[in-house]
Structure 1
């Protein structure tokens, strides 16, 4: 069975395994992606923030601690929304159950839109980018991360365990990919870095910064793990502005 969008997270067995993996201390999301994401987000004090594909609102908790004025997370998974609502209880943050494609994106409503590792699940990503542009206030920013295109190009290396090498193939052949992940088949959509860049420009954005999640030695307890993570980029991040 192929899972599209966030539907795989409503498979309880998958969801339980994913949550353990995602929140482990050595997760590359914690050690590599998050430092790069928060660098691009900068000071968010007093800002209204929309989180696309908020998951369990771990990011939302941190954004509220950093004094954003309001936080709205949306996610297409009921399991994730229930966990997020529980985490946000008693705060000014809230969560809404919706896919990225179906969310209404009210015009000129947010100072910042953020998204972590979600857009590679979206088939028509340019339409979502145009909706993000509309929902941002003037001079608002869109900051997001993706699974790096050198990884999504080909999943031939995905055989489980720690890999000693990677296959990069079909890089300029965009489109649907099936990733074997935690015992299931998950649908993702591959695009080159250039395609993401041009889609953002066509949506109206000014691209301010691009990061590839360069590992930082101070974030790793193990020299071996640090050296391993330097071999291939796992993440691609953009910071864009609505003029």
Structure 2
């Protein structure tokens, strides 16, 4: 069976295995992606914020208490159940169960829209960029991370703790099926150039691009730090909405 979007998280066994993996000591999400993401995101205090693919709202738990309002959207009911628990008692929080393809984006509503490691599950990146642009206020920020294209490129994907990586079929844009935590999930490969071009075509001003260079200070193990310098795992963009001509 192949899972699309967030449907795999409705599988209870997968969800538990994912959360265990996500919270492990040497999780690259925590040691590599999160520090790079927060650096690009900057200060969200007193802003109206929308998170796309909020999952269990682990980052929102840190940010939401200081925002003017926080809205989280996710296609998985089980993930939203975890988010509700994580954000319990925080005021001005709204959580919505919807796929990002069907979510009702409100025009000029948010100062900041962000998304962590979600948008590579969407086939139509151009449409989501259009929706995000319209939903931001002028000078609003769009910050997101995706799995790095060197990882999504190959049609054949390995598993386990890798010591080498296959980069192949890089310029063949489109669907990939990846084995992940004993299941098969569908992702969509795009090159860095294509991400950049679609953002530009959507009239975003691209402020920063990051490949999340590993910072040794976040690694308890020097061996793991050295291993993580061999290939980029994440690609991040920080963009600003500018008035269309």
Match of 2:239 in 1: 240
Match of 2:168 in 1: 169
Task: Provide, for residues 43-84 of structure 1, a one-character-per-residue CA deviation record: whole Å limited to 9, x for no partner.
Answer: 11111110000000111111124x121111000001001111
Match of 1:189 in 2: 188
C-alpha deviation, 1:21, in angstroms:
0.6
**C-alpha distance in 1, partners of 2:227/2:53?**
29
How do 1:1-243 residues align onto structure 2 when only pairs under 5 Å count? 1-65=1-65, 67-92=66-91, 93-154=93-154, 156-158=156-158, 160-243=159-242
Gaps of 5+ in 1: none
Query: Is residue 130–residue 204 contact of structure 1 (8 Å, CA) maintained in 2?
Result: no
- TM-score relative to the length of structure 1: 0.97
| Matched position secondary structure for 2:225 | helix
- The runs of at least 4 consecutive aligned structure 1 residues that moved more than 6 Å come to none
**C-alpha distance in 1, partners of 2:141/2:232?**
24
Number of residues of Structure 1 aligned to a counterpart in Structure 2: 241
Structure-2 change in CA distance of 1:17 and 1:155 (3 Å): farther
**C-alpha distance in 1, partners of 2:224/2:155?**
22
C-alpha deviation, 1:94, in angstroms:
2.4
**C-alpha distance in 2, partners of 1:104/1:213?**
31
C-alpha deviation, 1:155, in angstroms:
5.2
Structure-2 change in CA distance of 1:230 and 1:223 (3 Å): same
**C-alpha distance in 2, partners of 1:94/1:88?**
10
| Matched position secondary structure for 1:176 | strand
Query: Is residue 214–residue 230 contact of structure 1 (8 Å, CA) maintained in 2?
Result: yes
Query: Is residue 211–residue 233 contact of structure 2 (8 Å, CA) maintained in 1?
Result: yes
Query: Is residue 153–residue 190 contact of structure 1 (8 Å, CA) maintained in 2?
Result: yes
